[in-house]
Amino acid sequence: MDVGDVDLDAGLVTVCGKYDRTRLVPLHATTVLMLRQYRQRCRQLCPAPAAPSFFLSTTGTRLTVSRVDAVFAQLLVRAGISGRRGRSPRVHDIRH
């Protein structure tokens, strides 16, 4: 998701799907607030990012899938969340 896909003034995210389909996803006011704070912090820490991505790594590049998965797994442990039948939840599982 790129910066241009996020309209915090309107509280909308444009999601690009399969077959060039797009949809607008409304954001709750608290989500907009948190995303504004996140963007402000990103601008402070990385005023000239290397990628147009909304979510950035510490080096200003796009997040890698493997890093997102690793952090998500750590958060699951911290929250005490475990999966069923030996399978932990994945980031992809919460897309809806």
Q: Which helix (H) or strand (E) holds 31?
A: helix 29-45
Task: Give start and end residues of each alpha helix (H) in 1-96.
Answer: 29-45, 65-79
Domain ranges of the chain: 1-47
Give the residue with greater pLDDT, 7 vs 85. Answer: 7
Number of CB atoms found within 10 A of residue 56's CB: 20
The DSSP secondary-structure symbol of 54 reads S
Q: Is the pTM of this model over 0.85?
A: no
CA atoms lying within 13 Å on the CB side of residue 66: 0
pLDDT digits (tens, 9 = 90+) for 29-71: 999 999 999 999 999 999 999 999 999 998 999 999 999 999 9
Mean pLDDT rounded to a whole number for the chain: 92
